[in-house]
């Protein structure tokens, strides 16, 4: 009977372990505290069983003491490992997890880069994506658009992509043979959404179940690899993939989460490959996401002068900014948010930096490459994002629009925030440009070009200036925001504008002239 009791416990634990492994996917590594807990539960159960079996004959302690000592020793080792993995013991090591370069130059995106800045936020993208799918009756009854819109570089321009997902367990049962049929791509510049239908459906996705659940599919291929942030991307041909960041613990047993690469999965075939940070396919855009960067930058900013200073003196503490934004239900959320820009077909994320003890203004900003993890920090004083968002909203307060998180740009040498203003449905209605150092100086209009023109008095260049010969069909002087602007219409009905200057008075209808233009702003070629 005694052996049967112990055998029953072991079989029960074996079933428990298999179910736990299948459901929770514990990484098989000494650096995984969850695995230690599972082992402790097993040892504790065996110790109690042995003690209980022999307790009636007063031999419980004698028979169970070996397993009790092993259990206690493991618990102590886990506690010691946690202490020696903590920020208190390893403040310097934690402050060096990210590779941060400080520059004295304000390397802000130029206004000519504005087409590579996705001003539309995720909430507005959801609205467009849901409307697009809502018009497809055969799709909307079985699938939903995932809320996880990712900003990626597609052919060197920013787009937001999100895969469809199964609308529940029974929808998966009914459709798993063919898989998820497509994804949504949103163009944040043109405010349009496109549904991309695949020739073959995606079977290994986060919304699937059992063996087709994507996290489980990855786990059983790489059970000893830590991974998270499974997200959707597409390559330059539009082929869909899922990317999961891989990481390791570099401080003590359980501390210092450091990203070391990614697992790239073909959701159609289920094939996958693991890459180091330096070996990633060029089209992969997101390995170090904004939340990871903000979290470890905040740790760096907190521990920059040591652990005890972070608790008591708090001298020189800095952190990434948080803002109040509103979701599609009108609910306020206080969290990190980010601006994005595409450069050299990579996505860069950036946000403000503020002093912990005085968060009413920014002292600089950080910009990070989401593929390589390279981070550059530039220090200069500016208004914090929350203030400029509220200021822009106040400019059109009668409309009750909400501002998206702003992006910093350089408008003719002036640091300025640019953002969109949305109605209560999440649709983009207006654009706002706000001076980063003096937020009373702003421009709000229903056109981005007009807002830039008002803010910069018509001198903002939104693209590369190219020389062009035109025949003037019409020329007019227009007062915009108290400033006189010169508007030209050529014989192809293209419209150009510029800040007024005396030489432009010589332009007459029917003249052939040479201008330098980005397609909107022009300068007279001398």
DSSP assignment of 54-84 equals HGGGT-HHHHHHHHHHHHHHHHHHHHHHHHT
92 within some domain? no
The pLDDT assigned to 250 comes to 92
* pLDDT the model gives residue 287: 96
Residue 317 covered by a domain: yes
State whether 191 and 324 are in the same domain.
no
Q: Looking at the structure, do residues 161 and 46 belong to the same domain, yes or no?
A: no
Q: Which of 456, 481, 497 is the last residue of a domain?
A: 456
Kindly list the distances between the CA atom of residue 397 and the CA atoms of 87, 205, 402, 455, in Å, as whole numbers in the listed order. 45, 43, 9, 19
Alpha carbons 59 and 65: distance in angstroms, whole number: 10
Stated pTM of the model = 0.82
State the Rg of the chain over Cα.
29
Q: Is 432 in contact with 448 (CB distance < 8 Å)? A: no
Residue-by-residue DSSP string for 391-437 = HHHHHTGGGT-EEPPPEEEEETTEEEEEEEEE-TTS-EEEEEEEESS
The mean pLDDT of the chain is 85
Looking at 404, 433, 456, which one is the last position of a domain?
456
* 107 located within any domain: no
pLDDT for residue 61 = 57
| Contact of 144 with 164, CB cutoff 8 Å | yes
| Domain span at 430 | 294-456
Specify the pLDDT at position 105. 65
Task: Verify that 211 and 259 share a domain, yes or no.
Answer: yes
Asked whether residue 168 falls in the same domain as residue 186, the answer is: yes
Assess whether 394 and 333 both reside in one domain: yes
Q: Is there a domain that residue 48 lies in?
A: yes
Please tell me whether residue 314 adopts helix, strand or coil conformation: coil
Residues 451 and 471 in one domain: no
Residue 281: exposed, middle, or buried by beta-carbon count in 10 A (0-12, 13-18, 19+)?
middle
Q: From CA 492, how far away is CA 381, in angstroms rounded?
A: 45
Name 320's bridge partners. 353
pLDDT digits (tens, 9 = 90+) for 67-114: 778 888 888 888 988 888 888 888 888 888 888 888 876 678 887 778
C-alpha 170: how far from chain center? 31
Same domain, 234 and 309: no
Out of 35, 60, 83, a domain closes at 83
User: Is there a single domain that holds both residue 244 and residue 213?
Assistant: yes
What would the pLDDT profile of 182-210 be if each residue is shown by its tens digit?
Answer: 999 998 888 888 999 999 999 999 999 99
Are 366 and 351 within 8 A, CB to CB?
yes
| 328 and 437 part of one domain | yes
271 lies in the same domain as 123:
yes
- Residue 462's pLDDT is what? 65
Q: Beta strand pairing status for 495-499 and 442-445?
A: unpaired
How many domains does one find in the chain?
Answer: 4
Q: Are residues 442 and 473 in the same domain?
A: no
In a domain, 99, yes or no: no
170 token code pair: 């029974």
CATH number at residue 502: 2.40.50
Q: Token digits for 367?
A: 């910009």
224 in a domain, yes or no? Answer: yes
- Are residues 520 and 433 located together in one domain of the fold? no
* Cβ-contact 361, 384 below 8 angstroms: yes
Alpha helices in 381-491 (DSSP H): 385-395, 448-456
pLDDT band, very low/low/confident/very high, at 372 (cuts 50, 70, 90)? very high
Sign for the CA dihedral angle at 416, 422, 427, 428 comes to negative
Residue 97 lies in a domain: no
pLDDT band with cut points at 50, 70 and 90 for residue 129 = confident
In a domain, 110, yes or no: no
């Amino acid at each position: 009977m005694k052996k049967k009791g112990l055998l029953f416990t072991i079989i029960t634990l074996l079933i428990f372990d298999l179910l736990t492994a299948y459901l929770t996917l514990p990484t098989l590594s000494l650096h995984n505290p969850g695995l230690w807990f599972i082992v402790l539960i097993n040892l504790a159960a065996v110790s109690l069983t042995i003690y209980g079996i022999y307790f009636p004959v007063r031999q419980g302690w004698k028979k169970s003491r070996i397993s009790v000592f092993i259990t206690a020793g493991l618990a102590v080792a886990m506690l010691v490992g946690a202490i020696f993995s903590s920020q208190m013991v390893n403040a310097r090591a934690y402050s060096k997890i990210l590779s941060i370069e400080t520059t004295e130059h304000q390397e802000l995106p130029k206004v000519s880069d504005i087409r590579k800045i996705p001003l539309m936020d995720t909430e507005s993208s959801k609205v467009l994506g849901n409307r697009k799918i809502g018009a497809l009756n055969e799709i909307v009854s079985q699938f939903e658009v995932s809320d996880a819109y990712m900003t990626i570089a597609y052919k060197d321009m920013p787009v937001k992509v999100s895969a469809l997902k199964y609308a529940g367990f029974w929808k998966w049962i009914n459709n798993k043979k063919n898989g998820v049929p497509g994804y949504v791509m949103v163009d944040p510049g043109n405010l349009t959404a496109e549904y991309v239908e695949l020739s073959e459906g995606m079977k290994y996705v986060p919304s699937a179940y059992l063996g087709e659940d994507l996290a489980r599919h990855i786990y059983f291929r790489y059970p000893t690899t830590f991974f998270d942030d499974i997200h959707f991307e597409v390559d330059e041909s539009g082929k869909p993939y899922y990317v999961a960041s891989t990481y390791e613990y570099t401080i003590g047993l359980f501390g210092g989460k450091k990203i070391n690469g990614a697992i790239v999965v073909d959701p159609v075939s289920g094939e996958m490959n693991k890459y180091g940070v330096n070996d990633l396919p060029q089209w992969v855009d997101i390995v170090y996401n904004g939340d990871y960067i903000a979290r470890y930058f905040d740790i760096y900013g907190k521990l920059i002068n040591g652990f005890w200073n972070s608790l008591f003196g708090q001298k020189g503490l800095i952190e990434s900014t948080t803002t109040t934004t509103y979701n599609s239900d009108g609910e306020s959320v206080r969290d990190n948010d980010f601006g994005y820009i595409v450069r050299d077909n990579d996505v860069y994320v950036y946000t403000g930096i503020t002093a912990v003890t005085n968060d009413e203004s920014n002292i600089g900003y950080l910009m990070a490459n989401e593929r390589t993890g390279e981070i550059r920090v530039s220090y200069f004083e500016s208004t914090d994002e929350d203030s400029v968002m509220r200021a822009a909203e106040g400019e059109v307060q009668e409309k009750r629009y909400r501002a998206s998180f702003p992006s910093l740009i350089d408008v003719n040498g002036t640091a300025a925030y640019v953002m969109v203003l949305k109605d209560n449905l999440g649709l983009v209605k207006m654009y706002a440009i706000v001076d980063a150092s003096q937020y009373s100086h702003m421009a709000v209009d229903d056109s981005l070009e007009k807002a830039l023109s008002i803010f910069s008095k018509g001198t903002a260049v939104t693209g590369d200036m190219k020389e062009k010969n035109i025949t003037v069909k019409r020329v007019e002087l227009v007062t915009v925001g108290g400033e006189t602007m010169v508007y030209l219409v050529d014989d192809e009905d293209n419209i150009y504008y510029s800040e007024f200057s005396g030489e432009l008075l010589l332009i007459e209808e029917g003249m052939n002239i040479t201008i330098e233009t980005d397609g909107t702003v022009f300068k007279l070629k001398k």
